[in-house]
């Protein structure tokens, strides 16, 4: 363990360090220390001790013997000398016996090296200001004053500041904070959100007077001139910067039409960018509802805020390029997509048109179909009339037979009954024949209506036309005719004779 006396403002690297006396000079060094404590150091002891323990003159010593100190007197004498001489020292050693903060918030541990151990304490107010976590085995350089506690007769180091040996306190605190936040998942890739293609408004958290905001404005104005920008000004350097940045992020994230946030500043020294390594800033970025682009310093500068953001940009200008598209390129893309959609619609219409023409050609001439249907109806009527006439002839023959039988037998009553039955039969037959004919006519009319509905002539009635070649076949595409060919255009009423002047796909 090495120690040195140092004024409060000198950095640890400039501490004059003194090795412990050893080897042949050890006894000599111990003797000098004892001499300083007992003889000349009494002039530096507290006044109360000096007054009560003034050294007796030689005659008195010779007469009464050597002066005898009480335990308290000796302890107070040593306390005054030690605490005055070693009130501001830097001590290097390894932390041992670390117990963490007690109920009062004080931290107790020991500093040791290969030859000695010294108890140490960090009181609550100083412990709260530590930038990194203490632990057993950590090599540190501690600044403080040596104090003696008389009731126990022990001395200890009252630590006012402590730095890790070989690693700056800030760097160690940064590494510990990064490990802790990483375990919480604040840097996880699955938390990253995509940046919107076309935000309604871009929010910016940076200094209102810095070059970073001017660069962001310039790039957005060049890429998308009408894009609105909302600035939440913040202090980006100094002790108050972290709180200012976190508050600005919360304010701008509360604006609903801000779809993306850029947070950052221009380049600078590590100390200038340190606010973006503070835990309050990292958590503020992670808590934002809207995606955040971090643009802090230059490409080589990486802070914890960069790791927590949804996207890291190497510079503020690059962040602006990632936040908004180029309006002319976006318009060209939209025009291209609109053209492709229009062409797809036209192809679909042409396809359906060709399908309709094909179905029409397969259906044939509707007039021929109607003529066939009418012939079928006429044939059905003819058969019905023939059947009726046959039934009438049969009935007439039977009536003649009966009449001849009546004539032969002359039974008038029987003749009267037969005549009545004959008239009834004749009426029923006529009614049946009439109903049968009526049903046949209704059926024929229904068939004719269905044929009319399916007939392409009905399509012609709606204003469409059919193009036919001289041989009567339908023209389905421009490949079916040549320039100069004659074609017939069949309309709902009449037909046109035309000549092909030209074709167009």
Could you report the per-residue pLDDT of 318-341, keeping only the tens digit for each? 999 999 998 777 777 787 888 788
Percent of the chain whose pLDDT exceeds 70: 82
Can you read off the two tokens belonging to residue 141?
A: 């350089």
**pLDDT at site 418:** 76
Strands of 229-233's sheet in order across:
229-233, 202-206, 260-265, 292-296, 311-312
Phi, psi of 311 (to 5 degrees): -150, 135
List pLDDT tens digits, range 44-97: 444 444 444 444 444 444 556 788 899 988 889 988 888 888 988 999 898 888
Q: What is the pLDDT of residue 59?
A: 46
Q: Which residues contact 444 (CB under 8 A, 6 or more apart)?
A: 373, 376, 377, 380
Residue 404 in tokens:
């001849």
Are the C-beta atoms of residues 274 and 236 closer than 8 Å to each other?
no
Give the separation between CA 226 and CA 238, rounded to whole angstroms: 35
Most confident of the ranges 69-78, 279-288, 416-425: 279-288
**Strand-pair category, 2-5 with 89-96:** antiparallel
CB atoms within 10 A of CB 218: 13
Give residue 116's pLDDT: 92
Predicted pLDDT at 46: 43
- 88 in Cβ contact with 143 (< 8 Å): yes
pLDDT of residue 15 exceeding 60, the answer is: no
Query: What average pLDDT does the segment 261-285 reach?
Result: 90
Using DSSP, how many helices (H) and how many strands (E) does the chain show?
15, 14
Residues 6 or more apart whose Cβ sits within 8 Å of residue 96: 109, 110, 111, 112, 117, 136, 137
Mean pLDDT of the region 286-292: 95
What is the reported pLDDT for 13?
38
pLDDT digits (tens, 9 = 90+) for 100-145: 888 888 999 999 888 899 999 999 888 887 777 788 878 888 889 9
Q: Is residue 393 pLDDT above 80, yes or no?
A: yes
Q: pLDDT tens, 444-463?
A: 888 887 777 777 767 777 77
- Look at residue 53 in the predicted model and tell me its pLDDT: 43
Give pLDDT tens digits for 180-228. 899 999 999 999 999 999 999 999 999 999 899 999 999 999 999 999 9
Q: For residue 17, name the pLDDT band (cuts at 50, 70, 90).
A: very low
Of 80-94, 168-182, 227-241, 472-486, the poorest mean pLDDT is in: 168-182
Bridging pattern class, strands 154-164 and 495-499 = unpaired
- Mean per-residue pLDDT for 384-390? 87
Single pTM value for the model:
0.44
């Amino acid at each position: 363990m090495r120690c040195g006396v140092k004024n409060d403002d000198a950095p640890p690297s400039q501490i004059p360090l003194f090795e412990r006396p050893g080897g042949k000079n050890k006894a000599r060094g111990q003797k000098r220390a004892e001499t300083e404590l007992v003889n000349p150091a009494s002039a530096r002891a507290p006044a109360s001790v000096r007054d009560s323990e003034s050294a007796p003159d030689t005659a008195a010593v010779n007469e009464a013997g050597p002066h005898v100190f009480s335990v308290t007197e000796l302890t107070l004498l040593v306390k005054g000398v030690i605490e005055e001489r070693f009130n501001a020292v830097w001590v290097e050693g390894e932390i041992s016996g670390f117990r963490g903060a007690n109920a009062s918030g004080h931290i107790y541990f020991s500093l040791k090296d290969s030859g000695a151990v010294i108890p140490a304490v960090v009181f609550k107010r100083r412990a709260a200001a530590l930038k990194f976590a203490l632990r057993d085995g950590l090599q540190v350089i501690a600044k403080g004053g040596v104090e003696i506690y008389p009731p126990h007769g022990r001395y200890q180091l009252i630590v006012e500041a402590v730095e890790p040996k070989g690693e700056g306190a800030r760097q160690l605190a940064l590494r510990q904070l990064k490990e802790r936040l990483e375990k919480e998942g604040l840097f996880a890739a699955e938390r990253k959100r995509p940046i919107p293609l076309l935000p309604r408004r871009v929010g910016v958290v940076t200094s209102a007077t810095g070059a970073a905001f001017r660069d962001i404005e310039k790039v957005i104005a060049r890429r998308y001139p009408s894009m609105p920008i909302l600035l939440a000004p913040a202090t980006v350097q100094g002790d108050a910067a972290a709180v200012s940045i976190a508050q600005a992020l919360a304010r701008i994230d509360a604006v609903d039409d801000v779809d993306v946030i850029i947070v950052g500043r221009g380049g600078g020294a590590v100390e200038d960018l340190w606010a973006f390594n503070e835990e309050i800033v990292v958590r503020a970025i992670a808590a934002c509802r809207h995606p955040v682009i971090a643009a802090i310093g230059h490409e080589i500068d990486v802070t914890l805020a960069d790791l927590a953001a949804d996207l890291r940009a190497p510079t503020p200008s690059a962040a602006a390029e990632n936040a908004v598209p180029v309006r002319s390129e976006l318009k060209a893309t939209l025009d291209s997509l609109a053209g492709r959609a229009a062409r797809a619609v036209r192809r679909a219409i042409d396809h359906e048109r060709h399908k309709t023409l094909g179905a029409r050609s397969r259906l044939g001439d509707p007039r021929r179909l109607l003529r066939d249907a009418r012939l079928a109806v006429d044939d059905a009527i003819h058969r019905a009339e023939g059947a009726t006439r046959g039934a009438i002839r049969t009935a007439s023959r039977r009536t003649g037979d009966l009449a001849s039988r009546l004539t032969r037998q002359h039974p008038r009553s029987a003749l009267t009954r037969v005549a009545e039955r004959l008239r009834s039969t004749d009426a029923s037959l006529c009614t049946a024949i009439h109903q049968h004919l009526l049903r046949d006519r209704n059926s024929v009319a229904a068939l004719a209506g269905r044929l009319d509905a399916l007939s392409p002539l009905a399509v012609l009635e709606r204003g469409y036309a059919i193009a036919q070649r001289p041989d009567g076949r339908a023209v389905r595409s421009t490949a079916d005719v040549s320039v100069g060919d004659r074609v017939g255009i069949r309309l709902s009423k009449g037909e046109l004779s035309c000549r092909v002047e030209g074709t167009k796909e």
